[in-house]
């Protein structure tokens, strides 16, 4: 029983890696900003996805020295959120104390490309704005929780059956390896 659980966990991790690689490779063709930022998907925390429990990965617009977060993706639950331009800009400027080098038009194209690739992978995404979280405030003012604004939602694409086939194939391969080497 324990070996079956381990095989399933390994299959989940393998499918996350495949989807991560597809997303990273496809988005590498679309750098943004003056510093030619590329999308990077961070590794999940820890050596395992915990059966999918720790599957959320940050999406960052990376340079060699900076990695501002612009959203997250969960390749197990097939969901994700990406931040709107203003939220990403304010978070970047608050963290790095520099002007954000991606203009709103470039970022909008980036979001369209990102949502398109995620949609092809069967990942439902929404663009969220939470800009008030990053507004400079006086610490004596207390902690306020701004409202979240949902701007759009992408739908699953016709690629879902193909991806499910790939995931089943990976699962079968994992099970075959398990049976072969036990």
| Out of 17-31, 54-68, 103-117, 165-179, least confident range | 165-179
Calculate the CA 8 to chain-centre distance: 22
Confidence grade of residue 117 (pLDDT, cut at 50, 70, 90) = very high
How many structural domains does the chain have?
Answer: 1
Domain hosting residue 31, numbered range: 2-181
The pLDDT assigned to 164 comes to 60
The pLDDT assigned to 63 comes to 93
**For the chain, what is the largest distance between any 2 Cα atoms, rounded to a whole number of angstroms?**
63
Edge-to-edge order in the sheet of strand 56-62:
38-41, 56-62, 69-74, 79-83, 124-129, 149-153
CB 92 within 8 A of CB 1: no
> 38: how many CB neighbours lie within 10 A of its CB?
17
The pLDDT assigned to 16 comes to 76
* Average pLDDT score over residue span 131-135: 47
Three-state DSSP at 82 gives strand
């Amino acid at each position: 029983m324990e070996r079956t659980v381990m095989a399933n966990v390994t299959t989940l991790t393998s499918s996350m890696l495949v989807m991560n690689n597809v997303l990273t490779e496809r988005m590498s063709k679309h750098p943004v900003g003056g510093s030619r930022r590329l999308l990077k998907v961070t590794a999940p925390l820890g050596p395992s996805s915990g059966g999918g429990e720790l599957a959320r990965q940050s999406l960052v617009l990376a340079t060699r020295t900076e990695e501002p977060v612009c959203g997250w993706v969960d390749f197990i639950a097939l969901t994700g959120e990406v931040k709107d331009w203003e939220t990403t800009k304010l978070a970047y400027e608050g963290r790095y104390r520099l002007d954000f080098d991606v203009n709103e038009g470039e970022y909008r194209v980036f979001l369209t490309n990102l949502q398109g690739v995620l949609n092809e992978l069967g990942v439902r995404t929404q663009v969220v704005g939470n800009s008030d979280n990053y507004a400079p405030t006086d610490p004596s003012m207390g902690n306020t929780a701004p409202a979240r604004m949902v701007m759009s939602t992408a739908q699953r694409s016709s690629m879902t059956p193909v991806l499910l086939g790939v995931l089943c194939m990976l699962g079968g391969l994992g099970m075959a390896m398990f049976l072969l080497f036990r």
